[in-house]
Amino acid sequence: METLPLRKIRSFVRREGRMSRAQQQALEKLLPVYGITDLEHPLDFPHVFPFSGPCYLEIGFGMGSSLLEMAMQHPQNLYLGIEVHRPGIGSLLLRIEQMQVNNIRVINHDAVEVLEKIVPDRSLDGVYLFFPDPWHKRKHHKRRILQPSFVDMVHEKLKPGAIFHMATDWEDYAMHMMQVMSQAPGFVNSMPPGQFADRADRPPTKYEQRGERLGHAVHDLIFLRK
């Protein structure tokens, strides 16, 4: 009897929702300009960006508000954004075009596969993971993106001294993050052991604001690659 290959556990579910006409047009016209679609060859940063500089990667940027704000606050930096939610990508592309921001490039794909396939080792100055899906039911915890194997891969992609900044408004996930990161070889907490960080220059997101309205405390973790 033939054995079927195991299905890869994904940390996300594609929930497309309603896409506006403007978002659809942005995907068609602007993704070829500000997007990276070659997922077969290693990223060549001087080729995809108009200038060189420190490069930061945000995983799951949602509607892109925090990514856009960081890029505008730090025009000397380069920002890569990965997202699977197409309406969010469309919205960000529209604002990139409207604001004439030239230091953002977006990728519409699974972040794990992007890191595995095209992000060169020791190429990033920082990775941001803001408010990932908490998968709060215990039976779904295996779907959380923050797992030891994922942390090992992030470590490979960061330069020595680079940051891995995480944030969540779910208490249980915050404790899980702290446990995983505190045990991760090659990382050290920017704060004393076991302590959470302040938000630093992380812009607020709509998910954070929604969580605060529900009474959720926000936890930030900033770890450094040794």
Q: Which domain holds residue 153?
A: 53-225
In a domain, 48, yes or no: no
Cα gap 6→9, rounded to integer Å:
9
pLDDT at 9: 53
pLDDT value for 201: 85
Beta bridge partners of 221: 166
DSSP state of 5: P
pLDDT surpassing 50 at residue 4: no
Instruction: Decide if pLDDT at 7 tops 50.
Output: no
Q: Which pTM does this prediction carry?
A: 0.89
Residue 160 lies in a domain: yes
Q: Is 133 a catalytic residue?
A: yes
Task: Out of 110, 133, 172, 220, pick the active-site residue.
Answer: 133
DSSP 172: H
Question: Does residue 105 sit within a domain?
Answer: yes
* H or E element at residue 219: strand 219-225
CB 153 within 8 Å of CB 123? no
Q: What percent of the chain has pLDDT over 70?
A: 90
Q: Is 209 domain-assigned? A: yes
Q: How many domains does the structure of the chain reveal? A: 1
What local confidence, expressed as pLDDT, does residue 11 receive? 47
Determine, yes or no, domain membership for 67.
yes
26 touches 90 (CB < 8 A): yes
Report the CATH number that the domain containing residue 195 is assigned in CATH. 3.40.50.150
- The string over 9-24, giving b where at least 16 C-beta atoms fall within 10 Å of a residue's C-beta and e elsewhere, is eebbeeeeeebeeebe
pLDDT over 90 (residue 38) = yes
Count how many residues are written for the chain.
Answer: 226
Is the model's pLDDT at 70 over the cut of 80?
A: yes
Return the pLDDT at 8: 57
Q: Using the predicted structure, report yes or no on whether residue 129 has a pLDDT greater than 70.
A: yes
For the cut 90, the answer to whether the pLDDT of residue 43 exceeds it is yes
Average the pLDDT over each of 1-5, 8-12, 207-211, 214-218 and give the range with the smallest value.
1-5
Does a structural domain hold residue 41?
Answer: no
pLDDT in tens, 72-99: 999 999 999 999 999 999 999 999 999 9
Q: Could you tell me if residue 189 is inside a domain?
A: yes
How far apart (Å, rounded) are the C-alpha atoms in residues 181 and 217? 20
Judge whether 72 lies within some domain. Answer: yes
Number of Cβ within 10 Å of residue 90's Cβ equals 25
